[in-house]
Structure 1
Amino acid sequence: MTELAPDAGFGRKNPKLKSALLQHKPLSLAGLSERLFGLLFSGLVYPQIWEDPIVDMAAMQIRAGHRIVTIGSGGCNMLTYLSAGPAHIDVVDLNPHHIALNRLKLAAFRHLPSHKDIVRFLAATDTKSNVQAFDLFLAPNVDAATRAYWNSRALDGRRRIDVFGRNIYRTGLLGRFIAASHLLARLHGINPEEFVQARSMREQRQFFDEKLAPLFERPVIRWITSRKSSLFGLGIPPQQFDELASLSDEKSLAAVLRQRLEKLTCHFPLRENYFAWQAFARRYPLPHEGDLPAYLQAENHEPIRDHADRVEVHHASFTELLARKAASSVDRYVLLDAQDWMNDRQLNDLWTEITRTADSGAVVIFRTAAEASILPGRVSPALLDQWHYNAEASTKLGAEDRSAIYGGFHVYRKKA
């Protein structure tokens, strides 16, 4: 397991992230855009993952004995997968802040006394006792690098762990982006937090049609959404912006973002969609308001706790980790949207390792900014011909993804 520097950043301090992001010369417009995104992405980005793990579970059909490799992000996905009892999960991430967060969440399941303590630590807001819980139960039981990270001081001078005494979901790049979006809406006379007062799908639709949709016609919002840098807070790199832009005849992404927001607000009951709660209330629902993520629900507590020692968290790229594995040693692969960032060489290197390490019947799942899979025409036919694309399942499950951020969800299965 790679050690974690307490405050690793971008570029010289984090060459793995630099290698993944930078594809153009520094003084080109594309190169400058990539470096700005990399600077922003070098801190904590996702306190919560923004891919629906329930959709992942339906696609992968995890069984006992399965070996999984997944990108970490906010860690909610790998914890959800643990509830199905796989044999092993390797978590990889290029962002050291995500590494620290994944390891902390695992430690919480291993060492906090009860399910209520887990929910208090990972879902409650303004709970000062969470910091005490870290000092008492978690700090003595995590590796030295993770303990050093959470004990280190943030820019405001407070220990990093203090965010769990406030509201970690209002931090990170995405948390700040949501805060800025709320401010922009309020400047136009709309309070997004009022959305969680909706009591029916009809009221959700009414709120979107009357208050949210008109915002995307405002000139300032259309101007903002025409700038690549304005969407870096969503974790959308320059390459992904270009994919989204291909869906519209306009320079602005206002129409695309409007469509995604419509899905988030109108396609799922608010009570069942904690992603909408995070987007609009900037917190998880209380018990009388709605459901928590699956990994925080009581029925999944014991399986996750009992299987937590089956996870290893690596500061490495997906391809780098797979290159260290034996042939036919992995059953399930979760790529999130990472391939949207890659050039053709990186894609082929990745799929060479995926194909080599895939056991019989292995499944790969990933998401894309646009609707279509990005693999045809870019990954070598000699590699891609060894995989079957399940178009029906991809379309069906993509429609069921409650996070609503992505245009496509894709399922590939290794041919016999």
Structure 2
Amino acid sequence: MAHIRGGSRDSRAVVSRVAVTALPATVPAGSEAATRADFSLIRYAQCWEDADILLDALAIQPGDDCLSIGSAGDNALALLSRRPGRVVVIDLNPSQLACLELRVAAYRELEHAELLELIGSRPSGRRAALYQRCRSQLTAPVRAFWDGKSAEIAAGIGGAGKFERYFATFRHRILPLVHSRRKVEHLLRGGTREERETFYANEWDTWRWQLLFRIFFSRFVMGRMGRDPSFFRYVKGSVSDRFLARGRYATTTLNPAENPYLQWILTGAHPTALPFALRPENFEVIRAHLDRLEWHCEPMEAYLERAGERRFGAFNLSDIFEYISEENTHRLLERIVRSGKSGARLAYWNTLADRHRPEFMTDRLRSLPELSQALHARDKAFFYCAFVVEEVI
């Protein structure tokens, strides 16, 4: 566990050093997901989940303790904007926590514009120098991890994951076969809803687009190049058809000019829209509350066993249930509910597997379907088929 203390930029971080000299090659046992997927690499160099709807769902009150899945750290950092008492971050993958630790160092050492350069949101020829300014804030294993990734740093750390490389392949090799740069720029300008729908129907949604999209975003190709194949274990139906429908929603019903996730997929940067944690208005409040963040590399089940009951007021669960069976989902939900205060909110995404509170937990966990559906309708990370919000009774 690394625990950062000291919220101001000028204070030096006091870091509890982990008792290893490199990131572990394996992850702790104790969860179904840990036994099925390879967690030795960066899978996600960004959080591909919309923090705007997450924060609205969780309704965090100042002083609340929050539990969050790590991923690349963006949404855990976004929770700090609500001035919680503590944000506890859990992830099975030490490489994902290395992404979070470097972000914490960047918020501490860099100015906002420099942070955007390091991430890759903005062009830069000095990312190596920016990293050197952050390096002293890292624990020894994480420093060694990033020291070995000079190419990824030079390109922007937001593109260093397997998932982002998958999108880069789509952007560089598939998209030019279908649409010109001019059409991509036109799509991302947005416009009125009527203009977006007309452009999509007449210019974008060609037979070539549909064909190559269905191939590249098929279960087989995504399993080989994007997500771990084991992540599709509980998925039923056509993966590409669902993503194609959600893509149309993101480019017509939602405004591409306001969508950082779509912009990164199509351009590899954030030309006109930023995720919540990277917006200038949120930078200082996140930096001021870095001392309230801690992280652990272990299964959530193991952490919850010692966390105590009725502690947490909010849970950012990412799409954790996507990768485990329905039975194990229910078992983990029971553990989570025991650690939640009355009124605590749970928020999580379903990509392709249907996961939600079981009927036998209705006396302990309340579903909030109207809120869930309203927030999902705004979800800029458009590839999820559902957003689930539930409340501890």
Normalising by the residue count of structure 1, what TM-score does the alignment of the two structures yield? 0.81
Question: For 1:97, what is the secondary structure of its paired residue?
Answer: helix
Given the superposition, is the C-alpha separation of residues 18 and 57 from structure 1 closer, same or farther in structure 2, using an over 3 Å criterion? Answer: closer
Show the counterpart of 1:386.
Answer: 364
Given the superposition, is the C-alpha separation of residues 239 and 121 from structure 1 closer, same or farther in structure 2, using an over 3 Å criterion? Answer: closer
Distance in 2, matches of 1:407 and 1:123, equals: 28
Given the superposition, is the C-alpha separation of residues 269 and 162 from structure 1 closer, same or farther in structure 2, using an over 3 Å criterion? Answer: same
Given the superposition, is the C-alpha separation of residues 203 and 21 from structure 1 closer, same or farther in structure 2, using an over 3 Å criterion? Answer: farther
CA contact (8 A) 2:260 2:274 kept: yes
Corresponding residue to 1:297 among 274, 279, 284: 279
CA contact (8 A) 1:67 1:331 kept: yes
CA contact (8 A) 1:67 1:87 kept: yes
Q: Does 1:6 align with 2:22?
A: yes
Q: How many Å apart are 1:128 and its aligned residue?
A: 3.5
Question: For 1:59, what is the secondary structure of its paired residue?
Answer: helix
Given the superposition, is the C-alpha separation of residues 323 and 369 from structure 1 closer, same or farther in structure 2, using an over 3 Å criterion? Answer: same
CA contact (8 A) 1:90 1:313 kept: yes
The one-letter amino acid of 1:208's match is Y
What's the C-alpha RMSD, in Å, of the aligned pairs?
2.7
Given the superposition, is the C-alpha separation of residues 369 and 390 from structure 1 closer, same or farther in structure 2, using an over 3 Å criterion? Answer: same
Question: For 2:289, what is the secondary structure of its paired residue?
Answer: helix
Within 5 Å, which residues of 2 pair with 1:356-371?
Answer: 356-370=338-352
Corresponding residue to 1:320 among 298, 302, 306: 302
Distance in 2, matches of 1:194 and 1:171, equals: 27
Show the counterpart of 1:353.
Answer: 335
Q: How many Å apart are 1:386 and its aligned residue?
A: 0.6
Q: Does 1:195 align with 2:184?
A: yes
Corresponding residue to 1:118 among 109, 112, 115: 115
The one-letter amino acid of 1:86's match is P
Show the counterpart of 2:77.
Answer: 79
Show the counterpart of 1:92.
Answer: 90
Corresponding residue to 1:150 among 146, 149, 153: 146
Alignment size in residue pairs: 373
Q: How many Å apart are 1:321 and its aligned residue?
A: 1.4
- Structure 1 regions of 5+ residues with no counterpart? 23-33, 154-159, 246-251
Show the counterpart of 2:321.
Answer: 339
The one-letter amino acid of 1:174's match is F
Show the counterpart of 1:156.
Answer: none
The one-letter amino acid of 1:300's match is N
Corresponding residue to 1:410 among 381, 388, 391: 388
Distance in 2, matches of 1:225 and 1:6, equals: 35
Show the counterpart of 1:29.
Answer: none
Show the counterpart of 1:180.
Answer: 169
Distance in 2, matches of 1:129 and 1:223, equals: 37
CA contact (8 A) 1:69 1:332 kept: yes
Q: Does 1:102 align with 2:100?
A: yes
Distance in 2, matches of 1:192 and 1:349, equals: 48
Percent identical? 24
Question: For 2:68, what is the secondary structure of its paired residue?
Answer: strand
Q: How many Å apart are 1:395 and its aligned residue?
A: 0.7
Corresponding residue to 1:255 among 241, 246, 250: 241
Distance in 1, matches of 2:113 and 2:130, equals: 12
Q: Does 1:131 align with 2:128?
A: yes
CA contact (8 A) 1:125 1:166 kept: no
- More deviation, 71-80/171-180: 171-180
Show the counterpart of 2:15.
Answer: none
Show the counterpart of 1:27.
Answer: none
- The structure whose RCO (Cα within 8 Å, separation 6+) is larger is 2
Corresponding residue to 1:45 among 31, 43, 67: 43
Distance in 2, matches of 1:400 and 1:115, equals: 26
Given the superposition, is the C-alpha separation of residues 400 and 105 from structure 1 closer, same or farther in structure 2, using an over 3 Å criterion? Answer: same
The one-letter amino acid of 1:117's match is E
CA contact (8 A) 2:234 2:325 kept: no
Q: Does 1:275 align with 2:257?
A: no
CA contact (8 A) 2:322 2:355 kept: no
Distance in 1, matches of 2:287 and 2:215, equals: 47
String of CA shifts for 1:170-218, please: whole Å, max 9, x gaps. Answer: 3321122112323553474434774233332455434533334534643
